[in-house]
Amino acid sequence: MSGRRGGNRIRGPQSALTDFLAANNISAAQIRDDYERRRQQAEQDAADAGEGPSNQTPEQNDDEALAAAAQAEEAEKKTKKRKRTEKDAIDKIKNAKATKKGKGKKKGKKDEEDDEDGDDDADYDDDFGMYKKARPAPGQFEHCDICNKRFTVTPYSKEGPDGGLLCTPCGKELSKDVKKEQKAATKSAGTGRKRRKVESDRLDGIAVGGAKSLSQLCIQKVAQHHDDIEELGDLPPSVLERLSEIFSKKRVMKSKTLPLFLRPDLDSVIVHDAAYLEEEDYRQIFAIVPNVRKLVLSNTCQLKDGAIDYMLERCHDLRHIQLYAANLVSEGMWHRVFREAGGKLECLKLSWLDAAFEDLVVQDMVKYCPKLERLKLKLCRRLGEDAVTSISDLPELKHLSLQISQNVSTPVLVNLVEKRGSGLQTLSLEKFIDADDSVVGAIHDNCIQLSKLRLSENDTVTDAGYTALFTDWDNPPLKFADFNSTRDIDNNNSGGPEDAIGLASSGFRALMEHSGASLRHLHIASCRHIELSAFMDVFNGAQNYPALEYINMSFCNRADTSVVAGIFKSCPALKQLVAFGCFDVQDVVVPRNVALIGVPRAQDAIEQFGIGIGVDEAISRMVEVTT
């Protein structure tokens, strides 16, 4: 019972002196006993020497005890000051060594002596920590380390710069200062992130070599505060489309933000990322915009038969349908779409359809869509030769883009070009690996209105076939030419056969001679059989290509710095040059209004923009560097 009562005894707050004495195993009774022992020893010594006993009174004894306690408190203050000075010195040593170690990391490995010094510091810290004062318990009184005011310690009391505790007002001020320092550090650390954002904006065409326009700033601000916007008002369709692109890029096109882009007076709905939309959201689109004529929906992972059925019921003037990954729409619903809405359909673009779009659906499309002028079918897994054969029967076809997953024989492609080639304005055939010179010959003989031609990822058509295509061709000059990845693939013979496969030197010269005057977009990436002499003949500075704005010659490993200089000289309208994997292109000086992508040094950005100098000055500087 006595132990229990002793455990429940109420204890009051203790002073700093009491804490110090208790921490060092010193008590007032011990001080008094020591004093009495010394006094008695002095009296005994005096008696032995013939002197009388001491005449000190008890009051004098108490005064001396208090004086001794005051001396102990003064000694405690000096000890605290000394430890604080030692702590500051240790911190300075640590900061100096940390700076040295940081510099050593930039240069290479750290020296063994630095490691030994670090170990010594750690040992010294451990020894010094043995004498560190314990943190006062909550409820005790303590003096603030900054303002020296007395306050009650709580579990939330903050530690001051000198190791002591802080009162509530000083703790709040210290927290504010710490937050400011962290914010400044975060801001400085975000410099790289800001740089990447600028490069991303430039690649997206938001700002090139200058400040953003007012409309761009407004669009960016709207996208930033999308949760607080109730409606966008009567914005023109072009601005709405741009906003839709930004919302899709930021992944904020959701059920809450979708109504911002829906108005009954609109005739187009464009959503580039519908991954977060549910089936009811698609119904809402067709309910609010019943007069829609152009429908563009990408990543339509929740578009199902019910929504398509509601679309057919509400929307009777559809002319343009573009869907990406609409894999939950059944095969029977596709038949209904073409039978009920195919009469007015002029444009159809479908991509990444896996299980429910096959050759029989294409036959219905050809049968019930007589006005179809633009057709794009890419990566529809179940389409094959029968689908290509059916497409050749579309009477009004003007724009055709195909990428078929299954193999398609050369005669089927030749039949398609012979039937529809005369009316085609754009033709894109991607990854038809079996297409040979006969297909290119059919294009030469039948296509007379093409402005865009893409024949990519093929290793069968020869350089002689491309040369024959562009020689004495009745077609007007192309504006868009894409022959990327047309080359021989043989790991045992990297130089290729004697008779070059793909677009090589002769075919490249013929292409630029035929279409160079009007060409705007040139894509010859991975055409690695084009020799340096062909590049020098085409881009020699004397030839002029006034409309050429974009060139991609990545992995054309014969190109060097002189080729890039010739491109700058021969293409006055050039905006972007892409040259990944061209390892002989070095020390390029980029002229104004031109973006060079893919040839950085280690410390440069992937994308380099020319600022302030013209083509002639840039070329002269490049010559100085090379010489």
pLDDT in tens, 185-232: 766 555 555 666 666 665 555 545 556 778 778 877 887 888 888 888
Q: Is the pLDDT of residue 147 over 90?
A: no
Whether 33 maps to a domain, the answer reads yes
Among residues 400, 350, 352, the alpha carbon closest in space to that of 372 is found at: 400
pLDDT, position 623: 65
Whether 397 maps to a domain, the answer reads no
Residue 487 burial (C-beta neighbours within 10 Å; 0-12, 13-18, 19+):
buried
Residue for token pair 């193999």: 407
pLDDT, position 300: 94
CA dist., res. 302 & res. 96, Å (int):
60
Average pLDDT of the residues in 47-55: 55
Instruction: Name the average pLDDT for the chain.
Output: 82
Whether 168 maps to a domain, the answer reads yes
Residue for token pair 């006034």: 546
Beta bridge partners of 552: 523, 578
Residue 92, domain extent? 20-46+63-74+87-172
The residue with greater pLDDT, 323 or 92, is 323
Total count of domains within the chain: 1
pLDDT, position 67: 63
Q: Is the pLDDT of residue 101 over 80?
A: no
The residue with greater pLDDT, 196 or 387, is 387
| pLDDT tens string 449-507 | 999 999 999 999 999 999 999 999 999 999 999 999 998 887 777 777 888 899 999 99
Average pLDDT of the residues in 16-39: 75
- CA dist 538 → 73, 462, 509, 521, 620 (Å): 93, 20, 7, 15, 20
Share of the chain above pLDDT 90, in %: 48
Cα angle 499-501-503, degrees, rounded to a multiple of 5: 115
Asked which of 144-148, 281-285, 357-361, 567-571 is least confident by mean pLDDT, the reply is: 144-148
Whether 627 maps to a domain, the answer reads no
CA dist., res. 627 & res. 623, Å (int):
6
Whether 508 maps to a domain, the answer reads no
Q: Is the pLDDT of residue 378 over 80?
A: yes
CA dist., res. 108 & res. 40, Å (int):
71
Whether 527 maps to a domain, the answer reads no
Among residues 553, 476, 488, 564, the alpha carbon closest in space to that of 521 is found at: 553
CA dist., res. 144 & res. 83, Å (int):
18
State the amino acid at position 245 in one-letter form.
Answer: E
How is residue 587 written in tokens?
A: 């020390």
The residue with greater pLDDT, 610 or 292, is 292
Phi, psi (5° rounding) for residue 434?
A: -90, -5
Asked which of 28-32, 187-191, 318-322, 479-483 is least confident by mean pLDDT, the reply is: 187-191
Q: Is the pLDDT of residue 75 over 90?
A: no
The C-alpha torsion from 307 through 308 and 312 to 314, rounded to 10°, is: 20
Share of the chain above pLDDT 70, in %: 75
Asked which of 132-136, 153-157, 328-332 is least confident by mean pLDDT, the reply is: 132-136
Beta bridge partners of 295: 269, 321
Whether 26 maps to a domain, the answer reads yes
Among residues 554, 560, 489, 491, the alpha carbon closest in space to that of 531 is found at: 560
Whether 139 maps to a domain, the answer reads yes
Phi, psi (5° rounding) for residue 106?
A: -70, -35
pLDDT, position 607: 61
pLDDT, position 86: 61
CA dist., res. 500 & res. 391, Å (int):
32
Average pLDDT of the residues in 266-271: 94
The residue with greater pLDDT, 111 or 446, is 446
**Residue 546: other Cβ atoms inside 10 A:** 13
Name the H helices within 559-627. Answer: 561-570, 615-626
The residue with greater pLDDT, 203 or 58, is 203
Out of 18-32, 115-129, 395-409, 591-605, the most confident range is 395-409
pLDDT, position 373: 96
Pair 440, 479: CB distance under 8 Å = no
pTM value is 0.68
